[in-house]
Structure 1
Amino acid sequence: MIGLISATAAGTAARDRLAAAWPDRTRVYKGDVAGAVRTAFAECEGLVCFLATGAVVRMVAPLLSDKRSDPGVVCVDEAGRFAVSLLGGHGGGANALAGEVGAVLGAEPVITTATDAAGLPGLDTLGLPVEGDLAAVSRALLDGEPVALAVDTPWPLPPLPVAEAGEYTIRSTDRLVRPTAREVVLRPPSLVVGVGASRGVSEDEVTALVEAALREAGLAAASVAALATVDAKADEAGIVAAAERMGVPLVAHPAETLARVAVPNPSRAPLAAVGTPSVAEAAALVDGGELLVPKRRSVRADGSPARATCAVARRPVRGRLAVVGLGPGARDLLTPRAVAELRGASVLVGLDQYVDQIRDLLRPGTRVLASGLGAEEERARAAVSEARRGHAVALIGSGDAGVYAMASPALAEAGDDIDVVGVPGVTAALAASAVLGAPLGHDHVSVSLSDLHTPWEVIERRVRAAAESDLVVTFYNPRSRGRDRHLTRALAVLAAHRAPTTPVGVVRNASRADESSLLTTLAEVDPTVVDMLTVVTVGNSATREIAGRMVTPRGYRWQRPEVTR
């Protein structure tokens, strides 16, 4: 919850705008301002104070405890011009909150955290537990000193400007190692602890068993991603409480699923009790991986039979592939989500001309794999291969990556061994439609006239079906030097079903600096002015030119509601 506090009329007006925009995220604190700050500081994850920074500094200073637990504090000035990240920029999320507040109120976020200002990811913002000399290593990154990356346990990380060797080190490991001087250790969530137990097992017995198993195997508790068990034990109080104490989720699997997992130490006892010959080992290995600690039993001080078992596995590294649509070309049509993915990817894969469009957005240390036209399948394979190696990968395409772009070949290559996320973008058809007016106001279809992947006979059949259905048609890839007759033939198919006066919109380089557009008719359109950078939109029988704009009415008939007496 985010606490909102104001003192003046102007601040209250801005406060209420933010509260209206985030009704489920915010709580308004009224009354005495100092008391409101104290209460909100204790109750909320973040504060937005519509107050002077100096006043807020004096009020929160006595409340400060630890940057890892203190809430983030953002100050908005009286005029609403700036959203200042005052406290807890990374740990408290104030930097991100300042950006969100600025987006709602039209204020400029003010971020003074050094790594953010330099475009580097903060090592304490990666979502991983971090240990060691964070300040010194971060300062070395900022100063451009050589920092080595030592990866014992692969995990997707954002780009880091690291060297092969240096006085400073960033280490990614789930091993129980103590950071040396000038070293930071990142703890990837790579371990799964499988747990089995008899009914009535205590939290202390489960916790002691797990902690001992990790310690004796030299594994870090901070790298445990989850406790896992069989569904029959999902509500076992001791196991549930142990997961809560460790701060990890408890994952329960059906017995029939666990029974199919090959394990080194099956047993008849759990088979008779819950329907699977293994609980601890099978639950740890159900998603694959490497068994690091075979099944072991708890030890009870009174010598009575053990009531808990556990096993530890290192789960397979799961790389991440983001398929990102860059939009039609204009920077202000590139979505914030796309920018975030570009800045979070350690590997970028894309067509060279698209890479050049967004190269300035990449963080230092990003590895770029660019290639020329006609290598879509190779780029898709390269992106998936890098993700399978455990990297955070962004595969870029123009418009929306799922529309005649890279998402399809990439997902054809990707299995369930990597995480895939799609980032939508503004398509060329939509960008051209906005230039023309509203030609897509009713049912419409997009057809690519390129026969590189689809035989022309199939394309022509689809165009004819669209013509017979009276759909507005947008042509992608309409005409190139090697295919100078396809557009003419497609227009002829449409002309057999539509009036010569049917509006046709021709937009080249929609949203870019050299954008051009032409509104003509089916009888007068000149295919020779069209190239591969052009989108051609042909209206249906209802499309009209109105005040120089191409408009397809929505076609709804508004009826007066019946009155029941």
Structure 2
Amino acid sequence: MILARRHADDAGRWVRPAVAAGLPAAAAIVALSPGGADTARRIRAILPASTVHGLDPRVDGADVAFTDAMDHLRVLFRTGTPLVGVCAAGILIRALAPLLGDKRREPPVVAVAEDLSVAVPLLGGHHGGNAIARAIADAFGATPAVTTGGDVRLGLALDDPPPGWTVANPEAAKAVSAALLASRPVGLRVEAGDPGWLRASGAGWDEAGRPEVLVTDRAVPTPQGLVLHPPVLAVGVGCERGCDPAELEALVVQTLERHGLAPGAVACVASIDLKADEAAVHAVAGSLGAPPARFFTADALEAEAPRLWNPSEVVFREVGCHGVAEGAALAAAGADGALVVGKSRSRRATCAVARAAAAIDPGRTGQARGSLAVVGIGPGGPAWRSPEASRALAEATDIVGYRLYLDLIADAIAGKRRHDFAMTQEEPRTRAALDLAAEGRAVALVSSGDAGIYGLAALVFELLDREDRPAWNRLAIRVVPGISALQLAAARVGAPTGHDFAAISLSDLLTPWADIERRLEAVAAGDFVVALYNPVSRRRRTQLVAARDILLRHRPAETPVALVRNAGRDGEAVTVVPLSRLEPDLADMLTVVLIGNSHTRRIRRGQAEWVYTPRGYAGKAGRGHR
């Protein structure tokens, strides 16, 4: 397995690399104590797209909170989530023992001491558990308690090869490993790729030995031993706009079959950058089990023109290079690679295959399709952040946002590239996020509250609309909702938004006051509950008074008004006054003002005071009784 691979030092000795590769993504790091949470956050920085799960109320600041440790561990295990427990190994064993079944389908489980002295792979050692333990050891000086026989005796695991490699017949690995452990002769035959990790291990290989390990990019219908496929094939594809994914998938599968090539040896699917948003291209990569598709500029593909088998002037006139499928395959395979299958066609698609001399690293091949997640982080604290938002932050390579908001989530984005902007730089920060994503990065653009409610999501789409830039248009964009200030403010006082409501910003920086005033008149006449954002600033003192006076013409003076400042953050304050007493001194830019409608009630029950707007259930009950 990859973490048992040894790399040569200057003296030719083989040593474990400082940073482990091939780590499972999206691990859940579970902490049951404050000290465990600190350790979990340190581990999160080295495991890709991982999140901290904390036992509430013992652990503060977790990405995901839970209240029942045993149930939570079982849910994570059942859903196939790699698990790192910063706790006693016995806790994990007792929680998961009833669920154990097929070890080939179970996620890795690793127990880590709170002081980072030891990391113990309990389950799935050959499916990422050993990798996680070794990575923690390399990063923090822990002892990796690896116990799997092949790793300990031989320095390799045949059923867990390096990243990109695949095992064609995993059921054969046990017999071959047993033969190696028993010092019986085992053959090693190499047809493609670099088997350095096998030869550098402690295994004794014998050319005439049986059973045999075959390293090949061929499909082997009836293997006689263990078949390993190295990641040496690059599939280049092209297609018409809107091509049916099934057509391109069928073309690629048929091409590989016709030429006896193994899908497991496909390191990457590649195309021209004009196709970065083409669903068919991404579907092919997914169907082959390859990493996400990679893309090259027309200039990069044109550089491969001398090596093309089927150059086309028609293609050159359309996209600026003489071959997309063949060019992309060659570009991905590198200068020492060569075409093994020329351009094959279907009605609307093409594909070609190139073989590299050594393993292809997709991460260093072309460029990925950039992604932009516009993330609403809620008020800022982890307890208010959705699991989807936490995942989006964990998966991002670059985080863009207002400096204060990024400081609020500093623990969640530790180790990532931060791009901080000042408060009034909404458009520059949004442009920066789009440009970074266009470079092939995974970007999270952070908004407080909900990104679609007075947040940056609308500005993202406005810029797409205004400028129609091809590089932006090809991005994978999604909006991740968050708890809005309106929702949290309403929850703090009860249910003032229990019936129809409207939200209006009183800031006239971007919207003329005449438009704001007209909207206030409309919601006042319609008897809507009203949430006022940006009610008062140092410059603006009159708008809140004007809004109050408009609403007073349509609803009682005693209508409850809730003012919630700094909702969900330190210094939170809640004030409830009648509408007639609403004054600018009670609010600022950090305040949400909730003004009830003519039916909104303010009640005291016990020691608590609540504001709510009835839906009309009392009338419904009366009608039903009659």
Q: Which category of TM-score, normalised to the shorter sequence, fits these structures?
A: 0.5 to 0.7
Matching residue within 387, 393, 405 for 2:437: 387
Deviation string 1:307-363 (CA, Å, 9 cap, x unpaired) is x98436998631111111111133311222222222222111111111111122224
- Partners of 2:136 and 2:382 lie apart in 1 by 24
1:404-441 CA-to-partner distances (Å, cap 9, x unmatched) read 11111123335431111221111111111111111000
Distance (whole Å) between structure 1 residues aligned to residue 568 and residue 98 of structure 2: 48
- Report the Cα distance in structure 1 between the residues aligned to 2:576 and 2:587, rounded to whole angstroms: 13
- Aligned match for 1:477, one of 534, 538, 543: 534
Correspondence for 2:352 = 311
Q: 1:295 to 1:444 in 2, by over 3 A?
A: same
Describe how 1:508-527 pairs up with structure 2 within 5 A. 508-527=565-584
Q: Distance in 2 between matches of 1:428 and 1:73?
A: 39
Distance in 2 separating the partners of 1:476 and 1:393: 28
Aligned with 1:296 (options 342, 357, 379): 342
Residues 62-104 of structure 1 deviation map (CA, whole Å, 9 limit, x = unaligned): 987xxxx45226699xxxxxxx973127936999xxxxxxxxx
User: What is residue 235 of structure 1 aligned with on the other side?
Assistant: none
**Residue of structure 1 in register with 2:502 after alignment:** 445
Pair 1:130 & 2:163 matched: yes
3-state SS, counterpart of residue 411 of structure 2: helix
Q: Which residue of 1 aligns with 2:484?
A: 427
Structure 1: how far apart are the matches of 2:593 and 2:494? 13
SS of residue matched to 1:332: helix
1:450 positional shift? 0.7
- AA aligned to 1:349 is V
Contact 1:320 1:391 in 2 (8 A): yes
Matches within 5 A, 1:274-353: 296=342, 310-311=351-352, 317-353=368-404
Q: Which amino acid aligns with 2:425?
A: A
Distance 1:363 1:521 in 2: 45
Deviations 1:259-316 (CA, angstroms, capped at 9, x unpaired): xxxx95599xxxxxxxxxxxxx99959x9x9899798378xxxxxxxxx984369986
Per-residue Cα deviation, 1:386-421 (whole angstroms, up to 9, x for no partner): 000011111111111111111111233354311112
Is 1:459 the equivalent of 2:522?
no
Q: Which amino acid aligns with 2:107?
A: G
Structure 1 counterpart SS, 2:527: coil
The residue type paired with residue 259 of structure 2 is L
CA RMSD between the two structures:
5.6
Aligned partners of 1:449 and 1:475 also within 8 Å? yes
For 1:465 and 1:117, the matched residues in 2 are separated by: 64
Amino acid at match of 1:483: R
Aligned to 2:15: none
Amino acid at match of 1:359: A
Letter aligned with residue 613 of structure 2: T
Instruction: Indicate yes or no: 2:260 matched with 1:221.
Output: no
Identity of paired residues, percent? Answer: 37
AA at the equivalent of 1:523: S
Q: In structure 1, how many angstroms separate the alpha carbons of the residues matched to 2:163 and 2:593?
A: 53
Q: d(CA) in 2 for partners of 1:202 and 1:383?
A: 35
2:395 is the counterpart of 1:359: no
Distance 1:19 1:326, change over 3 A: closer
Query: For 1:551, which of 612, 615, 621 is the aligned residue?
Result: 612
**Residues 329 and 248 (structure 1 numbering): CA distance in 2 closer, same or farther, change over 3 Å?**
closer
Of the candidates 407, 428, 442, which is equivalent to residue 378 of structure 1?
428
Q: Report the equivalent of 1:72.
A: 107
1:209 maps to a residue whose letter is H
Assess if the C-alpha contact under 8 Å between 2:235 and 2:353 holds in 1: yes
In 2: Cα distance, 1:337 partner to 1:555 partner? 35
Structure 2, unmatched stretches of 5+, are 1-67, 84-88, 112-119, 141-160, 166-191, 201-229, 240-245, 272-283, 294-309, 315-321, 334-338, 355-364, 465-471
Q: Which moved more, 1:499-508 or 1:521-530?
A: 521-530
**Aligned equivalents of 2:424, 2:400: Cα separation in 1:** 14
Q: Is the 8 A contact 2:493 2:562 kept in 1?
A: yes
SS at match of 1:506: strand
* 2:301 corresponding residue in structure 1: none
Q: Report if aligned partners of 1:89, 1:113 keep a CA contact under 8 Å in 2.
A: no
Q: How many pairs does the alignment contain? A: 394
1:51, distance to aligned residue in structure 2 (A) = 8.6
Distance 2:92 2:98 in 1: 10
Whether 1:488 and 2:523 are equivalent positions in the alignment is: no
Query: What residue ranges of structure 1 are gaps of 5+ in the alignment?
Result: 1-13, 27-43, 77-83, 96-110, 120-127, 133-174, 227-241, 252-262, 268-280, 299-307
Normalization by structure 2: what TM-score? 0.51
- Structure 1 residues 518 and 410, CA gap change in structure 2 (3 angstroms): same
Cα gap change, 1:369/1:494 in structure 2, threshold over 3 Å: closer, same or farther?
same
SS at match of 2:535: coil
C-alpha distance in structure 2 between counterparts of 1:90 and 1:404, whole Å: 48
Looking at structure 1, the residues matched to 495 and 252 of structure 2 have their Cα atoms a distance apart, in angstroms, of 66
SS of the equivalent of 1:359 reads: coil
Structure 2 residue 590 is matched with structure 1 residue 533? yes
Amino acid of the residue matched to residue 296 of structure 1? Answer: G
- Contact 1:502–1:538 (8 Å) recurs in 2: yes
Q: Which amino acid aligns with 2:603?
A: I
Aligned to 1:105: none
Alpha carbons of structure 1 residues 221 and 437: separation in structure 2 relative to 1, 3 Å: same
Task: Indicate if the aligned counterparts of 1:210 and 1:310 stay in contact, CA closer than 8 A.
Answer: no
Find the aligned partners of 1:514 and 1:62 in 2 and give their Cα distance: 50
Distance 2:285 2:570 in 1: 56
TM-score when scaled to structure 1? 0.56
C-alpha distance in structure 2 between counterparts of 1:439 and 1:477, whole Å? 19
Distance 1:18 1:542, change over 3 A: same
Secondary structure, counterpart of 2:575 in structure 1: strand
Mapped contact 1:46–1:94 kept (Cα < 8 A): no
Work out whether residues 234 and 267 of structure 2, in 8 Å CA contact, stay in contact via their aligned partners in 1. Answer: no
Q: Distance in 2 between matches of 1:245 and 1:527?
A: 60
Q: Could you tell me how far apart the structure 1 residues matched to 2:424 and 2:414 are?
A: 27
What amino acid is aligned across from residue 539 of structure 1 in structure 2? Answer: G
